[in-house]
Amino acid sequence: MSGKVAWITGATAGFGAATVERFVAGGWCVVASGRRADRLQQLVDRHGAERVHALAFDVRDEAAMRSAQASLPAEFAAIDLLVNNAGLALGTAPAQQADLSQWKQMIDTNVTALVTLTRLLLPTLIERRGAIVNVSSTASTYPYPGGNVYGGTKAFVSQFSLGLRSDLHGTGVRVTSVEPGMAETEFTLVRTGGDQAASDRLYAGAHPITAGDIAQTLWWIANLPAHLNVNRIELMPTSQSFAGFQVHRE
């Protein structure tokens, strides 16, 4: 046992669920949060209540977030690592046709909730000389049609991470922005409102990044020597690269 505690948001699926597995296997204790309580309970059942503590709440609900933090038992309260992973994309419509409520949900989840939890945990993280890993995206750097607000939220996450580095100068707290490209999780299922066929089509034959790849990357970042900080790291599947600008002709 490392004696260290990670709080991993979005632990019920995809990157977050795989990251719980990696950190528990590596001897850490984990605070696992997400909305789907049944999936969180499965993590507790699998690893034991002494290794995984489940907090079921919606990250958009600040009061619920505060009481979740306040409810942490002493063994899980001293957080060494915050993995801000909970997030989502909704829709791929161009801005002029987009659903405003979907835009707001992305901003509330990917931006507002992320900064709120970060702010709440900063005193503990500073005391522990801990670390923050924010899950951003290649969408933070490379725009694509229909990526509008999702890309905007991730650009915020990347830039906020760099800003945190500046503010936390001298505290020993490390901050990293992790920026993955195409990865097969429940991400596309959520984005398309549950269209499994669309999700399968996107990933078919592409050998996308796996949740395990990202979990392993987060594990590597978190366990580097304390004098090393990865500021940002961008990952893509080998099958994915760049294309040119689009030109509209009259």
Pick what 13 binds: ligand 8X3, ligand NDP, none; C-beta below 5 to 8 Å, kind-dependent. Answer: ligand NDP
How many residues interact with ligand 8X3 (rule CB under 6 A)?
6
Distance, in Å, from the CA atom of 244 to the CA atom of 112, rounded to the nearest integer, reads 33
Distance, in Å, from the CA atom of 116 to the CA atom of 183, rounded to the nearest integer, reads 26
Concerning whether 203 is annotated as a catalytic residue, the answer is no
118 binding ligand 8X3? (CB under 6 A):
no
Closest CB to ligand 8X3 among residues 10, 147: 147
β-strand pairing of 232-235 with 183-184: unpaired
To the nearest whole angstrom, how small is the minimum distance from the Cβ of residue 104 to ligand 8X3? 18
Closest CB to ligand 8X3 among residues 77, 107: 107
Q: How many CB atoms lie within 10 A of CB 121?
A: 19
To the nearest whole angstrom, how small is the minimum distance from the Cβ of residue 140 to ligand 8X3? 8
Binding-site ranges for ligand NDP (CB under 6 A)? 10-16, 34-36, 58-60, 85-88, 109, 135, 137, 180, 182-183, 185-187, 190
Closest CB to ligand NDP among residues 5, 139: 139
**Which run of H or of E encompasses 132?**
strand 131-135
138 binding ligand 8X3? (CB under 6 A):
yes
Q: Which two tokens stand for residue 191?
A: 């984005």
b vs e for 221-249, b when ≥16 Cβ sit within 10 Å of the residue's Cβ? bbeeeeeeebebbbbbbeeeeeeeeeeee
19 binding ligand 8X3? (CB under 6 A):
no
To the nearest whole angstrom, how small is the minimum distance from the Cβ of residue 154 to ligand 8X3? 6
Distance, in Å, from the CA atom of 223 to the CA atom of 228, rounded to the nearest integer, reads 10
Closest CA to 8 of 159, 19, 180, 167: 19
Chosen residue from 147, 152, 208, 237 binding ligand 8X3 by CB under 6 A: 147
Q: Which residues bind ligand 8X3 (CB under 6 A)?
A: 137-139, 147, 181-182
